[in-house]
Amino acid sequence: MTVYARGQAAQESSPDRSGLDRMSEERGRILLVLPFENRTGQPSLEWIREASAEILSSRFASAGFAPMSREDRHYALDHLGLPQGFHPSRATALKLAETLDADSIVVGSYLTDGTGIVAEARMVDVPHLRMSQPMSARGEMRDLVAVFDSLAWRLTRQLDPGFSVAEETFVAAGAGLRLDAFEQYIRGITEPDQAERLRHLNQAVVLSPGFGPAWMALGLEDYNGQQYEEAAAAFAKVGRGDPEALGPDALEAGFYRGLSLLFSGDYPNAEAAFGGVARVLPLAEVVNNQGVAVSREGHDGSPLFRQAVAADPNAADYHFNLAVSLKRYGIAAEALTELAQCLRLRPNDSEAEALLAEWKGLARPQAPELNSNPKSSPNSTPASVTAAEPKADPLERIARNFDAVAFRQAALMLDQVEASRLAALTPRQRAEKLAGQAKDYLDRGLLLEAERLYQSAVAADGKVAEAHEGLAEVRELTGDAEAARKEARTALRLEPSADAYMVLGRLDLAGGHLDEANKEAGEALKLDPTSRAAQELRRQIEARKGQKK
């Protein structure tokens, strides 16, 4: 689930509207999901307002759309002079969408029905000022996340009638999330009092230790409170500390983890954290901070500072950092040039002004003056000739703000590059590439993203066995045994596969068809004799047979 709680650290810079414009053009549809109206009459269920927007935005992002973040929405409300908790009319919703350049708005409400909940939503087409017919989903209150997942699927199909991911996959995307943990998380990102925010977020991660969004929000609270060691530990829980694991959330967590480690003096791990982010998105602020960490370790960070300057030549601090680093390693002429460029970009930088004056003074030693004191020793040096001890060079500057829009734009550019590469491939090569990417998502438990790519692979070339094999695993995990069996058999008709046999074996074991399951486990072992999964399946089959005897 995508995190939309960013707190003070992300609010230090406002969103770049032009960036959002470009995203809209490239991604197709920018969505604004507004918190749903609470029609239950129960103040204790007010937290579901924000929960609705959180769940729907997350599912839309996984489906390939570009939902606005919570911070974008707050920016627009502040810009229009509106309070955060108000219930927007249709006219106000349209004004919000215009402020954010959104193509569509999702508005909705929820009410209780005995022990159940009913959620209803409409899609507003902003350019054409049209409102769709209402979509609704209902279920037991304990299944609240699944109710909004189903609603998200219906709305996604309305946005894109050709969208082929199954409803069960949307529901499975939130199946592992405990409702009580999710409620604590929502209360933690909406509570105005910091102590209360911390209490709720700590409770959320206790209830659900694998819930990345809660760890992210908790890390930001600790970071804003200058509890840097605690913040670094919390950020490490997002995406299992791997910036490539969960996309933008893990990248942001990696960036703030690097800052937390810098401020707590753990420079080697700070360098590793920034380096992990830079491998995915080598943005200027990331490589600059990696250079700072390298410099604090006593090594030369100049190559990284050069990279930061090349990525953003209009940022004065990056020129300042390069100048300081070059001067430290004896490249004085270029250091003066970089410091002068810093001052051209920021003329009122008093630290850079003083440093430039000092460096120029050191570069022009004065001629010695005659000693006017006849009592001085002939071997003594006149006081006026003694060069002032040079001051220690200042530390390089840290880029503290995470520019979420810049990261999204950079991620979009990478997507465009990848799309161009895919377009240049043959249909079969494209399908194989997409199936490989989908497998990465599947291994991380991201079923919705995995199925979307597997479906794209099948659309590119329906004769690639890996795509059907992957769809079989997705269908098995979402509980659609018939569809899983069908996809596994399709994969086997195209090419023998241990994984496809394993899907059939697990399904037959679950259905009590032990002989068939044993045969399929055997076929899997023929293809992959070292498969631990197949060996374990064999053991389970033998144990089940022993129970029957």
First and final C-alpha spacing in the chain: 46
Spatial neighbors of 482 by CB under 8 A, at least 6 apart, are: none
Per-residue tokens: 217 = 């929000």
Report the pLDDT value the prediction gives residue 113, as an integer from 0 to 100: 86
- β-strand 135-140 against 116-125: which pairing, if any? antiparallel
User: Looking at the predicted structure, is the pLDDT value of residue 302 above 50?
Assistant: yes
Q: Of 170, 118, 122, nearest to 144 (Cα)? A: 118
Residue 321 pLDDT:
97
Q: Which of 144, 146, 168 is closest to 477 using CA atoms?
A: 168
Give the per-residue pLDDT at 487.
Answer: 97
Instruction: Please tell me the predicted confidence (pLDDT) of residue 244.
Output: 53
Task: State the pLDDT at residue 549.
Answer: 65
494 token code pair: 């195209």
What's 188-254 look like in SS3? HHHCCCHHHHHHHHHHHHHHCCCCHHHHHHHHHHHHHCCCHHHHHHHHCCHHHHCCCCCCHHHHHHH
* pLDDT of residue 198 exceeding 80: yes
Closest CA to 407 of 259, 246, 249: 249
Contact 144, 48 (CB under 8 A): yes
pLDDT band at 27 (very low <50, low <70, confident <90, very high): very low
Q: Whole-angstrom Cα distance, residue 375 to residue 27?
A: 83
Answer yes or no: are the C-beta atoms of 52 and 123 closer than 8 Å.
no
pLDDT in tens, 206-265: 999 989 999 999 999 999 999 999 999 999 999 765 555 546 678 889 999 999 999 999
Per-residue pLDDT at 245:
52
Residue 361, beta-bridge partner list: none
- Compute the average pLDDT of residues 48-54: 95
Degrees (nearest 5) of the Cα angle 242, 246, 251? 60
Q: How far lies 88's CA from each of 13, 96, 102, 240, in Å?
A: 25, 9, 16, 38
Share of the chain above pLDDT 70, in %: 85
pLDDT at residue 384, as a whole number: 41
Binning pLDDT at 50, 70 and 90, where does residue 361 land?
confident
Query: Of 161-170, 358-367, 397-406, 414-423, which gets the smallest average pLDDT?
Result: 358-367
Amino acid letter, 200: H
Q: 3-class DSSP state for residue 136?
A: strand
Per-residue pLDDT tens over the stretch 320-329: 999 999 999 9
Residue 180 has pLDDT above 90, yes or no: yes
Residue whose token pair is 């409102």: 131
Give dist(CA 502, CA 486) in Å, integer: 13
Domains located in the chain, CATH noted: 7-176 (3.40.50.10610), 300-362 (1.25.40.10), 425-548 (1.25.40.10)
Q: What is the pLDDT of residue 20?
A: 35
81-85, 243-247, 523-527: least confident range: 243-247
18: pLDDT strictly greater than 50:
no
pLDDT of residue 418: 82
Q: How far apart are CA 397 and CA 408, in angstroms?
A: 24
Query: Residue 227, SS3?
Result: coil
160-175 pLDDT per residue, tens? 998 999 999 999 999 8
- Residue 108: pLDDT band with limits 50, 70, 90: very high
Cβ neighbours of 516 (radius 10 Å):
16
Q: Taking all residues of the chain, what is their mean pLDDT, rounded to a whole number? A: 85
User: Is the pTM above the cut of 0.85?
Assistant: no
Compute the distance between CA of residue 48 and CA of residue 29 in angstroms, rounded to an integer. Answer: 25
- State residue 66's pLDDT score: 84
